[in-house]
Amino acid sequence: MKGITIRTLQEAKRESRRFCCVTAYDASFARVAAQAGIETILVGDSLGMVLQGHTSTLPVTVEEMAYHTRCVASAAAPALVIGDMPFMSYATPEQALRNAATLMQAGAQVVKLEGGEWLAETVRLLAERGIPVCAHLGLTPQSVNSFGGFVVQGRDPAAARRIAEDSRALAEAGAALLVLECVPRALAAEITASVRVPVIGIGAGAATDAQVLVMHDMLGMNPRPPRFVQNFLSEGRDIAGAFAAYAAAVRDGSFPRPEHGFD
């Protein structure tokens, strides 16, 4: 099967074909997810919570991200591998370039950064040097301390306008993909319609071009799953079956349902 690239995903958006993404942190799960037809695998810094047991993603280091990216990249074909840049690894454009290069050399094909318009210069710098960027907006978990918890973002008109303007600024700066996390459905729909780059949602309703879930959540391993999660391992499926059911539900629009989103 041909490898998935950012062009494949951009083409999917143009043709209104939804695609999906799941996190993975090792070769075995990456292989099963890719063979089940999941187009993109995110080596998320969520590994700080689901693998390392921390209460946030802040303790994760570039070295740890590079290690897990290498593990995933060894087995993820034909899926596209997105490597997450951890907390404070892109505080300046120069630092971002150095650390993004480390993740790309570990096997990432895209790097993900959390933030708004302030990241535009960094996105431009990386894109110009051959490093595709996925910009993550809305509930950006590395800012949990500034938000005062893992809370829905963009509910008041001013905050919604800021997220929409940030999304457009980062798309214009050259971001290849956007992630919108925990924002009202209507806001995610408006942003998805207004940018040419594919938008991947999580807790952002059904109108985005794609969905992402943390693997441990969609396999029913989170004792307190967020409202936007569905357990795809239930109903007697095995892990490959759970990934395939998730991919099918995203593509046919049966996941996420209205109760998974926010107003």
Q: Can you give the binding site for ligand KIV, defined by CB under 6 A?
A: 23, 42, 44-46, 84, 136, 179, 181, 202, 212, 214
Q: Which is nearer to ligand KIV, 52 or 94 (CB)?
A: 52
Q: Which is nearer to ligand KIV, 14 or 45 (CB)?
A: 45
Give 3-state DSSP helix, strand, coil % of the chain, rounded to 5. Answer: 45, 15, 40
Instruction: Give the C-alpha separation, 207 to 187, whole Å.
Output: 10
CB of residue 135 to ligand KIV, shortest distance in Å: 11
Reduced to 3 states (helix: H, G, I; strand: E, B; else coil), residue 46 is: coil
Catalytic-role residue among 181, 190, 235, 259: 181
Nearest of 133, 106, 110, 131 to residue 27 by alpha carbon: 106
Q: How many CB atoms lie within 10 A of CB 167?
A: 28
CB of residue 2 to ligand KIV, shortest distance in Å: 25
DSSP structure class, residue 2: P
Non-local CB neighbours of 169 within 8 Å, separated by 6+ positions? 116, 117, 120
CB of residue 196 to ligand KIV, shortest distance in Å: 21
Q: Which is nearer to ligand KIV, 68 or 251 (CB)?
A: 68
Gyration radius of the chain over CA positions? 17
Q: Which residue is nearest to ligand KIV (CB)?
A: 44
Does the bond joining 258 to the residue before it have cis omega, within 30 degrees of 0?
A: no
Q: Which is nearer to ligand KIV, 88 or 94 (CB)?
A: 88
CB of residue 42 to ligand KIV, shortest distance in Å: 6
CB of residue 14 to ligand KIV, shortest distance in Å: 23
Burial class (CB in 10 A: 0-12, 13-18, 19+), 105: exposed
Q: Which is nearer to ligand KIV, 46 or 122 (CB)?
A: 46
Reduced to 3 states (helix: H, G, I; strand: E, B; else coil), residue 84 is: strand
DSSP element (H, E) containing 111: strand 110-114
CB of residue 112 to ligand KIV, shortest distance in Å: 7
Nearest of 145, 148, 134 to residue 202 by alpha carbon: 134
Q: Which is nearer to ligand KIV, 84 or 209 (CB)?
A: 84
235 is catalytic: no
Does the bond joining 78 to the residue before it have cis omega, within 30 degrees of 0?
A: yes
Catalytic site positions: 181
